[in-house]
Amino acid sequence: MPVGTQATVKGLSQRDLWDDLQARIILGNTYHLFLRPGHELIRQLGGLHRFMSWPGALLTDSGGYQVFSLSGLRKITDEGVTFQSHLNGDTHKFTPASTVDVQLAFGSDIMMVLDECPEYPVSREYARVSMDRTIRWAGEAFSHYRERMQSVPTRNALFPIIQGSMFPDLRRECTSRLLDLDADGYAIGGLSVGEPRPLSMEMVEASVPELPRDRPRYAMGVGMPDELPEYVARGIDMMDCVLPTRNARNGWLFTSEGRVVIKHAQYRDDPGPLDPACDCYTCRNYSRAYLRHLFQAGEILFASLATRHNLQRYLDIMGAIRQSILLGEFPRYLRDLQSRSTFRNGVTAKEPSGGIE
Amino acid sequence: MPVGTQATVKGLSQRDLWDDLQARIILGNTYHLFLRPGHELIRQLGGLHRFMSWPGALLTDSGGYQVFSLSGLRKITDEGVTFQSHLNGDTHKFTPASTVDVQLAFGSDIMMVLDECPEYPVSREYARVSMDRTIRWAGEAFSHYRERMQSVPTRNALFPIIQGSMFPDLRRECTSRLLDLDADGYAIGGLSVGEPRPLSMEMVEASVPELPRDRPRYAMGVGMPDELPEYVARGIDMMDCVLPTRNARNGWLFTSEGRVVIKHAQYRDDPGPLDPACDCYTCRNYSRAYLRHLFQAGEILFASLATRHNLQRYLDIMGAIRQSILLGEFPRYLRDLQSRSTFRNGVTAKEPSGGIE
């Protein structure tokens, strides 16, 4: 899922996303949209789909992650979390029920429960306290959600979020306790917070086997291109990540032949496409030399062309995975990939890839 | 002509310009492209059209205007102008012949001669000295151009530039002396440098009657939407201006009902299109409320959607003018417009609209 934090995927129009990239679901950030332009305004203007003119599906997070990563003074209690806006310092409060209401005002197709996403590393004691709270909040969110659903004419899904930091037994316990909610899908949160990659995978492995096979499983805030098939191999259906879009704007491009850091002098006079194997608008029309020029000159068009390509790369990978599964060839696809990849070397991402644009 | 200073019209892709806006000619700035990425690199990569993947026509200025407005220490002599790059302080020299060579390296369809564009106001004495130099430079540029044309397989036009500051007799003299060059077209420079609007019109009126009727006349660096028909009424065929694009990025939008300053609170919950009479992608798909949100949030998509609309507005005006001329109704079109416009009030533009993006 491309990340569209403030009701826009940075650098692209909705037509670019829908017609060109054929993205069908994107993510919006509740924390940001709650603060600006505000959920009441969005409701009044017909919901987030109409507000941003997006014909596809929308998933919104609960805002919890951003409260912890972005806002000023914050205070967490059993009831919810009080925080200061990073925009103007105003004080607000999110509760499990209020974040459901905010997301219903957006008209999100998939809503997320308020959770606490602990930093990495935390003690086992804190991880348990936090996990217990996340589970209690999920219960409160679902009670409120089921009540609201009686009067809401649309069908909005609500996913609980599995936490438990990097402790497999807590992950397993959290998963099995959340199953009682009989949700339409389940998310695994608390990944990409700075931990080594093998640990993220281990947490997914601890959670997924418990989850019902007929409900989507969503790994939040992951990952690098060569990690996507690894998550799928572990039973994940959905992912979102700021890496393709944020890295694009910083000139870090993902291609079928590896990464291209476009500012490097070697691309100065390179007349070839960014990725000869890619069919995106950028690769069909522009050279590496032109992209480098736009990047060096700080031109807006760079962000747009680079974002377009990186998202295409991610969507192509997901498309290839889907195709290989349909053909019964996913195990071979994965083996081929692993033999070429650095993934198994246990490289640690330099910075958390979760979070917002 | 949309302005594409650094081989890109800020915020738009070449497809946006060509397919959506149906722009057929855009302007590039020689000064900028000479400094970065450099004309030799552009030549090596197949010229500016191929470099930026632009299927339409390209006009480039001579760089003179930017040398005077942007660069650091500069020294003007009869030979040319020596200047320091605003990017890194390197010293360079433009001569009438060298700027033709640079523009031939770009492969520009329409090239401009090196000229001196005096600031406003200047003394009559300085205006004459400067005009004489501009005429001498035009002669040198044309000699070099005709020589180079013997060996260049393409057909590139070169336009001389009429100067003379705000002195009608100097403008007339300059025009008549430049006619000897028998150029494919003629430009009127030195406008939009801070002078009151009626004075710009007067300078055009002093120059145009002398010009051959079968060659395009180009007013450089103008103007506001309601000025376009006024220039056409005075015999102008071509104009370029940074106003539609630069103002767009600053949230100042031109509509058929007047200007919209999108940050104003009145648009916060306005569900209507920016301009109900406009058929651009922006107006067909997005509300004023959404545009205001994007602007307030500093989102890239705002620049793109706003630029698209403002350019559409300019191109629509030019299209309506063209249509009314073909139907023999331009005088009525102009009268209708003037009765509704503030133009005749002699309002002075707050800042020069010439220059670069």
Q: Which residues of A touch B265 (CB under 8 A)?
A: none
Give yes or no for B356 touching A (CB within 8 A).
Answer: no
Rg of chain B in Å (alpha carbons): 20
Residue of chain B with shortest Cα separation from A271: B45
Q: Average pLDDT, stretch A154-168?
A: 97
Q: Nearest Cβ partner of A299 from B6, B41, B271?
A: B6
Query: What tokens does A207 get?
Result: 């959670």
Give yes or no for B266 touching A (CB within 8 A).
Answer: no
Give yes or no for A335 touching B (CB within 8 A).
Answer: no
Paired sense of beta strands A81-84 and A74-76, if any: antiparallel
Q: Which residues of A touch B6 (CB under 8 A)?
A: 293-294, 297, 299
Would you call B219 helix, strand, or coil by DSSP? strand
Task: Let me know if A352 is exposed, middle or buried by CB neighbors in 10 A (0-12, 13-18, 19+).
Answer: middle
Q: How far apart are CA A115 and CA A165, in angstroms?
A: 12
Cα dist from A181 to A148, A174, A186, B269, whole Å: 16, 12, 10, 37
pLDDT of residue A233 exceeding 80, the answer is yes
The answer to whether B217 and B161 are in contact (CB under 8 A) is no
Task: Let me know if A150 is exposed, middle or buried by CB neighbors in 10 A (0-12, 13-18, 19+).
Answer: exposed
Q: Which among B4, B81, B66 is positioned nearest to B35, based on CA atoms?
A: B66
Task: Let me know if B276 is exposed, middle or buried by CB neighbors in 10 A (0-12, 13-18, 19+).
Answer: exposed
Query: What tokens does A123 get?
Result: 């003690």
Which has the minimum average pLDDT: A149-153, A175-179, A280-284, B336-340?
A: B336-340
- Give the per-residue pLDDT at A352: 53
Q: How far apart are CA B345 and CA A186, in angstroms?
A: 66
Q: Do B7 and A37 touch (CB under 8 A)?
A: no
CA A273 to chain centre: 28
Paired sense of beta strands A91-94 and B91-94, if any: unpaired
Q: How far apart are CA B274 and CA B294, in angstroms?
A: 13
The answer to whether A67 and A99 are in contact (CB under 8 A) is no
pLDDT of residue A150 exceeding 70, the answer is yes
Q: How far apart are CA B323 and CA A281, in angstroms?
A: 34
Q: Which residues of A touch B300 (CB under 8 A)?
A: 8, 10-11, 300, 303-304
Q: Do A300 and B300 touch (CB under 8 A)?
A: yes
Q: Nearest Cβ partner of B11 from A8, A10, A300?
A: A300
Which amino acid, B239? M
Residue A346's pLDDT band (boundaries 50, 70, 90)? very low
Q: Counting one residue from A and one from B, how many pairs have CB atoms under 8 Å apart?
A: 108
The answer to whether A95 and A114 are in contact (CB under 8 A) is yes
- Residues 40 through 99 of chain A touching chain B, CB cutoff 8 Å: 41, 44-46, 51-53
Q: What is the DSSP string of A257-296?
A: TEEEETTSGGGTT--SBS-TT--SHHHHH-BHHHHHHHHH
* DSSP state, residue A13: -
Q: How far apart are CA A50 and CA A7, in angstroms?
A: 11
- Give the per-residue pLDDT at A348: 41
Q: Which residues of A touch B37 (CB under 8 A)?
A: 268, 289, 292-293, 296
Q: Which residues of B touch A7 (CB under 8 A)?
A: 290, 293-294
Q: How far apart are CA B334 and CA B324, in angstroms?
A: 9
Largest CA distance in chain B: 62
Give yes or no for B37 touching A (CB within 8 A).
Answer: yes
What is the nearest CA distance from A355 to chain B, expressed in angstroms? 17
Q: Nearest Cβ partner of A8 from B15, B45, B299?
A: B299
CB atoms within 10 A of CB A188: 29
- Give the per-residue pLDDT at B353: 60
Cα dist from A198 to A164, A203, A231, B120, whole Å: 16, 9, 11, 67
Would you call A342 helix, strand, or coil by DSSP? coil
Give yes or no for A37 touching B (CB within 8 A).
Answer: yes
Q: How far apart are CA B109 and CA B25, in angstroms?
A: 9
Would you call B187 helix, strand, or coil by DSSP? strand
| ipTM confidence score | 0.95
Q: Which residues pair with B287 in a beta bridge?
A: B273
Residue of chain B with shortest Cα separation from A37: B293
A61 noted as active-site residue: yes
Q: Do A37 and B12 touch (CB under 8 A)?
A: no
Write down how long chain B is. Answer: 357
**pLDDT by 10s per residue, chain B, length 357:** 999 999 999 999 999 999 999 999 999 999 999 999 999 999 999 999 999 999 999 999 999 888 888 877 889 999 999 999 999 999 999 999 999 999 999 999 999 999 999 999 999 999 999 999 999 999 999 999 999 999 998 899 999 999 999 999 999 999 999 999 999 999 999 999 999 999 999 999 999 999 999 999 999 999 999 999 999 999 999 999 999 999 999 999 999 999 999 999 999 999 999 999 999 999 999 999 999 999 999 999 999 999 999 999 999 999 999 999 999 999 999 999 999 875 544 444 444 565 566
- Give the per-residue pLDDT at A355: 58
Q: How far apart are CA B108 and CA B66, in angstroms?
A: 18
Q: Do A41 and B8 touch (CB under 8 A)?
A: no
Q: Nearest Cβ partner of B36 from A6, A41, A296?
A: A296
Q: How far apart are CA B136 and CA A226, in angstroms?
A: 63
> From the DSSP assignment, how many helices (H) and strands (E) are in chain B?
15, 13
Q: Which residues of B touch A45 (CB under 8 A)?
A: 269, 271, 287, 289-290
- Of B351 and A46, which is predicted with more confidence? A46
For helices B300-326 and A300-326, angle between their N-to-C axes, nearest 10 degrees: 110
Write down how long chain A is. Answer: 357
Q: Which among B208, B249, B244 is positioned nearest to B223, based on CA atoms?
A: B244
* DSSP state, residue B63: S
Q: How far apart are CA A320 and CA A98, in angstroms?
A: 39
Return the HEC string of A180-247: HHCCCCEEECCCCCCCCHHHHHHHHHHHHHHCCCCCCEEECCCCCHHHHHHHHHCCCCEECCCHHHHH
The answer to whether A103 and A51 are in contact (CB under 8 A) is no
Which amino acid, B19? D
Query: What tokens does A210 get?
Result: 């418990």
Q: Do B37 and A286 touch (CB under 8 A)?
A: no
The answer to whether A205 and A217 are in contact (CB under 8 A) is no
CA A299 to chain centre: 27
Average pLDDT, chain A: 94
What is the nearest CA distance from A302 to chain B, expressed in angstroms? 9
- Give the per-residue pLDDT at B340: 83
pLDDT of residue A86 exceeding 50, the answer is yes
A237 noted as active-site residue: no
- Given the residues A109, A115, A226, A240, select the one marked as catalytic: A240
pLDDT of residue A226 exceeding 90, the answer is yes
Q: How far apart are CA A204 and CA B226, in angstroms?
A: 62
Residue of chain A with shortest Cα separation from B54: A285
Cα dist from B179 to B165, B182, B183, whole Å: 18, 6, 7
Return the HEC string of A50-93: HHHCCCCEEEECCCHHHHHHCCCCEEECCCCEEEECCCCCCEEE
